[in-house]
């Protein structure tokens, strides 16, 4: 009788303990509101501050989009002039910073060097005791202006070349080519590059942006947040995929080898980089615009091989698996045709995404709540320490 009562009691207690629902990878969880961008998987569309990305890519330059993300409105002519003048005046980095970059190991990945470079910039700009409030917009402009210089300086040193100082008479895209290659390519190439920067600029609560918001939520500074964001972006499931795509295309080499290569991947249950997305399941809103830019580049270069291989992979993945390409899929070969080394692709993503990260850092700071989720414990039950002599 007593036993039955105890069993009943234990059962009732068990029924009361509600197991928390686990949202692995935070999939499907809405953690906050944002007014920076809206991803609409149901219509395969994306807007920045209410403007469709395709519209922005067709009608604006990257600097206008950066202004839009930070200020909420597209700039007037005079606002843009002022914004560009400010950005151009900040492009130089200090002699000491150049020396830091000179001493990076030559074999280090440029994502590791840009991560360290941003962190170094923080040490020179933020004094012990922390960051006074209200400095984020100024710091964001510093990062926007200096990140391309840091990436290009590192690129030149890795190749054993002298650095090219930034020029103030060029747009951000033109100046980046000048600092990397010592020349500005034709306007078709600049336009395609600018489009890629616009498309990569912002994408709501993706892994790296969420990382910057988590770091900001502890009232840490923008350099710490961006350093963390770069670390997150580096991963092959996130920004690193654009590099992986081009490595794959080079491995495939010719359209004739594409189908067999893909079938082997599928047989081995390997991921095909540049395909799939956590949010878009019917196609990435940015792909058609980047694909058109890639087609223009291929025509300009007279090299359509990468497009042909891409089409074979894409047809099979969509028709047989219903898995669509993401932005990294056309961006990888586009950067290849522009002449960049493959390990530069994700750093280029950084020089664009700094705009989105900074917009989210500003938004997080304006309405902050420490981001601190809960976890369900799955380890050993509580136990007592046994003295070492008895273990
Ligand atoms: N290649 C092959 N299969 C893929 C795939 C890919 N690139 N992406 C998704 N799938 C498959 C998964 O294996 C899974 O199959 P299963 O149901 O048989 O297990 C199914 O599609 C659903 O995918 P899921 O893992 O739930 O998607 P996710 O939302 O967790 O992952 C990514 C999204 C982006 C991490 C994933 O698609 C991926 O790793 N893609 C390659 C890396 C990439 O291009 N990243 C850039 C993102 S912009």
Confidence of residue 12 (pLDDT cuts 50, 70, 90): low
CB distance 201 to 61 below 8 Å = no
pTM, to two decimals? 0.92
pLDDT at 278: 87
Q: Which run of H or E residues covers position 244?
A: helix 241-252
CB distance 368 to 220 below 8 Å = no
Confidence of residue 3 (pLDDT cuts 50, 70, 90): low
Q: Is the pLDDT of residue 5 over 70?
A: no
Q: What are 60's two structure tokens? A: 């604006």
Short-list 190, 236, 272, 191, CA closest to 345? 236
Q: Is the pLDDT of residue 8 over 90?
A: no
pLDDT at 131: 73
Fold of 242-335: Cytochrome p450-Terp; domain 2 (1.10.230)
Taking only the tens place, the pLDDT of each residue in 172-201 is: 999 999 999 999 999 999 999 999 999 999
CB distance 184 to 170 below 8 Å = yes
CB distance 112 to 233 below 8 Å = no
CA distance 203 to 205: 7
Q: What is the three-class DSSP state of 182?
A: coil
Q: Which run of H or E residues covers position 227?
A: helix 222-233
Cα-Cα end-to-end distance for the chain: 40
Taking only the tens place, the pLDDT of each residue in 88-126 is: 999 999 999 999 999 999 999 999 999 999 999 999 987
Q: Which atom of ligand 1 is nearest to the CA of 270?
A: 2
Confidence of residue 133 (pLDDT cuts 50, 70, 90): confident
Confidence of residue 31 (pLDDT cuts 50, 70, 90): very high
Taking only the tens place, the pLDDT of each residue in 40-98 is: 988 888 999 999 999 999 999 999 999 999 999 999 999 999 999 999 999 999 999 99
pLDDT at 290: 97
Candidate from 39, 206, 276 with most ligand 1 atoms within 8 A of CB, to mutate: 276
Q: Which atom of ligand 1 is nearest to the CA of 276?
A: 37
Confidence of residue 281 (pLDDT cuts 50, 70, 90): confident
pLDDT at 134: 83
CA distance 167 to 164: 9
Question: Residue of the nearest CA to atom 28 in ligand 1?
Answer: 278
pLDDT at 34: 98
pLDDT at 11: 64
Confidence of residue 18 (pLDDT cuts 50, 70, 90): confident
Q: Is 74 left (phi over 0), alpha (psi -120 to 50) or beta?
A: beta
Q: Order of strands across the sheet with 45-48?
A: 37-40, 45-48, 51-52
**Across the strands, what pairs with 48?**
37, 51
Query: From the CA of 297, how far away is ligand 1's center (Å)?
Result: 28
**323 in ligand 1 pocket by Cβ < 6 Å?**
yes
Provide DSSP, 109-175.
-HHHHHHHHHHHHHHHHS-TT---TT-HHHHHHHHHHHHHHHHHHHHHHHTTPPP----SSS-HHHH
Q: Which atom of ligand 1 is nearest to the CA of 279?
A: 29
CA distance 79 to 65: 13
pLDDT at 43: 86
Mean pLDDT in residue range 226-232 = 98
Per-domain boundaries in the chain: 37-235+343-366, 242-335
- What Rg do the C-alpha atoms of the chain give, in angstroms? 24
CB distance 131 to 221 below 8 Å = yes
Q: Round the average pLDDT of the chain to a whole number and report it.
A: 94
Q: Which residues lie below 8 Å from residue 215, measured CB to CB, with a gap of 6+?
A: 224, 225, 228, 229
Query: From the CA of 230, how far away is ligand 1's center (Å)?
Result: 21
pLDDT at 83: 98
Q: What is the three-class DSSP state of 324?
A: coil
Query: From the CA of 276, how far away is ligand 1's center (Å)?
Result: 5
- The catalytic site residues sit at 238, 277, 328
CATH class of 37-235+343-366: mainly alpha
Confidence of residue 16 (pLDDT cuts 50, 70, 90): low
Mean pLDDT in residue range 244-266 = 97
* 24 DSSP 8-state letter: G
**161 in ligand 1 pocket by Cβ < 6 Å?**
no
CA distance 381 to 27: 28
Mean pLDDT in residue range 247-271 = 97
Short-list 287, 307, 311, 312, CA closest to 297? 307
Question: Residue of the nearest CA to atom 4 in ligand 1?
Answer: 271
* 107 DSSP 8-state letter: T
Q: Which atom of ligand 1 is nearest to the CA of 327?
A: 48
Selected residue with higher pLDDT from 132 and 28:
28
**26 in ligand 1 pocket by Cβ < 6 Å?**
no
Query: From the CA of 63, how far away is ligand 1's center (Å)?
Result: 33
């Amino acid at each position: 009788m007593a036993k039955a009562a105890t069993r009943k009691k234990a059962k009732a207690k068990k029924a009361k303990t509600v197991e928390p629902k686990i949202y692995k990878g935070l999939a499907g969880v809405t953690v906050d509101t944002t007014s920076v961008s809206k991803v609409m998987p149901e219509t395969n569309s994306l807007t920045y501050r209410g403007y469709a990305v395709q519209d922005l890519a067709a009608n604006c330059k990257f600097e206008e989009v950066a202004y839009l993300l930070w200020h909420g409105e597209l700039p007037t002519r005079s606002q843009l002039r002022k914004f560009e003048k400010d950005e151009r005046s900040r492009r130089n980095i200090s002699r000491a910073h150049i020396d830091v970059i000179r001493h990076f190991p030559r074999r280090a990945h440029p994502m590791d060097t840009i991560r360290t470079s941003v962190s170094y910039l923080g040490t020179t700009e933020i004094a012990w005791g922390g960051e006074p409030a209200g400095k984020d917009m100024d710091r964001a402009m510093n990062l926007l202006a200096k990140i391309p210089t840091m990436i290009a300086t590192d690129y030149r040193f890795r190749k054993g070349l002298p650095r090219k100082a930034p020029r103030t008479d060029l747009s951000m895209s033109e100046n980046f080519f000048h600092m990397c290659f010592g020349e500005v390519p034709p306007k078709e190439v600049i336009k395609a590059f600018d489009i890629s920067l616009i498309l990569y600029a912002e994408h709501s609560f993706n892994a790296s942006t969420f990382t910057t918001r988590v770091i900001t939520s502890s009232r840490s500074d923008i350099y710490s947040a961006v350093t963390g964001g770069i670390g997150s972006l580096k991963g092959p499931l996130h920004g690193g995929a654009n590099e992986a795509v081009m490595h794959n295309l080079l491995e495939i080499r010719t359209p004739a080898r594409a189908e067999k290569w893909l079938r082997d991947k599928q047989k081995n249950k390997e991921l095909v980089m540049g395909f799939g997305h956590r949010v878009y399941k019917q196609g990435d809103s940015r792909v058609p615009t980047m694909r058109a830019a890639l087609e223009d580049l291929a025509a300009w270069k007279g090299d359509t091989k990468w497009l042909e291989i891409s089409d074979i992979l894409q047809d099979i993945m969509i028709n047989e698996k219903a898995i669509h390409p993401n932005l990294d899929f056309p961006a990888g070969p586009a950067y290849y045709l522009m002449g960049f080394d493959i390990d530069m692709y994700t750093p280029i993503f950084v020089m664009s995404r700094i705009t989105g990260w900074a917009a989210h850092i500003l938004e997080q700071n304006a309405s902050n709540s420490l981001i601190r989720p809960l976890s369900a414990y799955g380890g050993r039950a509580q136990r007592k320490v046994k003295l070492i002599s008895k273990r």
